[in-house]
C-alpha cells in the first residue's frame, strides 16, 4: 500500500492531463500507418502509461527526498528517457509509405509534452510519499 497510492495518484494525474492534451489540443497523427483513433488498443495504451508512471514512482522512491519538486524532477527524467527512447526509436527504425511515421516536429512535441506530464505525475507521487512519510514520523 505504501507504493500503491503514490503510483495511482501519479497515474490518474498523468492520464487526465495527457488525455486533455492528446484528445483536445494536439491533432491526431495523419500518417496512413497510424491506427485510427477509434481503433486504438486502449488497454495497451494504459499499460504503457502505467509502466512509465511505475518507472517514475520507482525513481521517486529511490531518490528518498520526497517532495513535489524532487518528484517532478524524477518524473521529468522518467518521461524524457522512456518517451524519448520510444519516439526516437520509432522515428529512426520505422517508415511508412516511403517516409517516417511521424515528423521530427511531432516527435519533439511528444517528447516535450511527456516531460511536462511526467513532471506533474512525479510531483504528485512525491507529495504522496511525503504525506506518508510525515504520517509515520
39 in a structural domain: no
> Do 81 and 88 meet the contact criterion of CB atoms below 8 Å apart?
no
81 in a structural domain: yes
- List the domain range (segments joined by +) for residue 97: 67-131
15 in a structural domain: no
**For residue 133, how many other CB atoms are within 10 A of its CB?**
13
Instruction: List, for residues 39-98, the tens digit of each pLDDT value.
Output: 999 999 999 999 999 999 999 999 988 999 999 999 999 999 999 999 999 999 988 888
Instruction: List, for residues 102-121, the tens digit of each pLDDT value.
Output: 889 999 999 999 999 999 99
75 in a structural domain: yes
> Do 74 and 67 meet the contact criterion of CB atoms below 8 Å apart?
no
Rounded Cα distance between 103 and 2, Å, is: 41
- Contacts of residue 57, defined as CB under 8 A and 6 or more positions apart, other chains included, come to 3, 6, 7, 10, 125
For 24-130, where are the E strands, in sequence order?
Answer: 95-96, 99-100
Query: Structure pTM?
Result: 0.90
Q: How many domains does the chain have?
A: 1
Amino acid at each position: 500500500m505504501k507504493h500503491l497510492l503514490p503510483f495511482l495518484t501519479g497515474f490518474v494525474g498523468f492520464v487526465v492531463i495527457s488525455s486533455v492534451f492528446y484528445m483536445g489540443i494536439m491533432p491526431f497523427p495523419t500518417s496512413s500507418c497510424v491506427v485510427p483513433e477509434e481503433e486504438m488498443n486502449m488497454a495497451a495504451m494504459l499499460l504503457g502509461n502505467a509502466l512509465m508512471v511505475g518507472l517514475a514512482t520507482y525513481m521517486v522512491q529511490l531518490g528518498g527526498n520526497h517532495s513535489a519538486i524532487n518528484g517532478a524532477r524524477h518524473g521529468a527524467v522518467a518521461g524524457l528517457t522512456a518517451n524519448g527512447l520510444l519516439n526516437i526509436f520509432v522515428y529512426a527504425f520505422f517508415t511508412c509509405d516511403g517516409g517516417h511515421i511521424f515528423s521530427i516536429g511531432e516527435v519533439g512535441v511528444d517528447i516535450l509534452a511527456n516531460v511536462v506530464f511526467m513532471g506533474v505525475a512525479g510531483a504528485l507521487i512525491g507529495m504522496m510519499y511525503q504525506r506518508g512519510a510525515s504520517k509515520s514520523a
